[in-house]
Amino acid sequence: MARIVILGGHGRVALLLERLLAGRGDEVDAVIRNPDHADEVAATGARPVVADLEAYDVARLADLLAGHDAVVWSAGAGGGNPARTFAVDRDAALRSMEAARVAGVRRYVMVSYFGASLEHDVPADHPFFAYAEAKAAADAHLRASDLDWTVLAPSTLGGGPGTGRIDVEATESGTVDRADVAAVVAATLDDDRTIGRTIRFNAGDVPIADALGTAG
């Protein structure tokens, strides 16, 4: 049994992940900003923890993360407001990485997206620009850290039931069910072969555990 903390615990992937982790016997703390979401989180088997990642400094975040075996970043501002996108998807994410280091929680899994890159080529006047910039900066910072990191980069998310199979060889973004993204996160937490890797994936034909073993 591991003790996992999920930052952004009310997201659709996070709710699926919480149910998977709790179902296999892990102790799951799901950090949420809105207390009205606590019952929905608790129904997954996770423990809702109300905290504002945007407002917490490194010290408060370290207190939140202390005692866990792994951190999963699945939080996001949800777009629409560039300033808040940078505040959450970049700045809060960076503080959480430092907080993990301070708290002695070495395992850190970032949920990113398929095209995340410092060379993303999204025009500055495009609505997606702030998110592309923020995620690229957060991913790069994590890769440069001394944490036991994995960056997971799924393609466009779908609402299907999942197949348990993915494609980690794809060079262009396709689609993948949120259920499979949650399953990939869960498998990643159990697989030290994924440490130090960025894993981009679409829906595919290879069982998740096998695909993670070959992802480069």
CATH number, residue 18: 3.40.50.720
Q: Would you say residue 164 has pLDDT above 80?
A: yes
Cα angle value 49/186/118 (rounded, 5°): 85
Q: Would you say residue 146 has pLDDT above 90?
A: yes
Asked if residue 171 lies in contact with residue 5, where contact means CB atoms within 8 angstroms, the answer is: no
Q: What would the mean pLDDT of 154-175 be, rounded to a whole number?
A: 96
Spell out a b/e string for 170-185, using b for 16 or more CB atoms within 10 Å of the CB, else e.
beebeebbbbbbbbbb
Q: Which two tokens stand for residue 10?
A: 């009310």
pLDDT digits (tens, 9 = 90+) for 41-76: 999 999 999 999 999 999 999 999 999 999 999 999
| Residue (of 67, 59, 208, 72) closest to 147 by Cα position | 72
Confidence band for 176, pLDDT divided at 50, 70 and 90: very high
Q: What is the pLDDT of residue 121?
A: 86
Confidence band for 155, pLDDT divided at 50, 70 and 90: very high
Spell out a b/e string for 75-98, using b for 16 or more CB atoms within 10 Å of the CB, else e.
bbbeeeeeeebbbbbbbbbbbbbb
Q: Which two tokens stand for residue 211?
A: 């695909």
Domain of residue 31, residue span: 3-214
Domain count, the chain: 1
Q: What is the pLDDT of residue 78?
A: 82
Dist CA 95 CA 177 (whole Å): 29
Confidence band for 216, pLDDT divided at 50, 70 and 90: low
pLDDT digits (tens, 9 = 90+) for 88-145: 999 999 999 999 999 999 999 999 999 999 889 899 999 999 999 999 999 999 999 9
Name the 3-class secondary structure at 84.
helix
Radius of gyration of the chain, Cα coordinates, nearest whole angstrom: 16
Give the CA distances from residue 189 to residues 26, 48, 87, 115, in Å, rounded to whole numbers and listed in that order. 11, 20, 27, 22
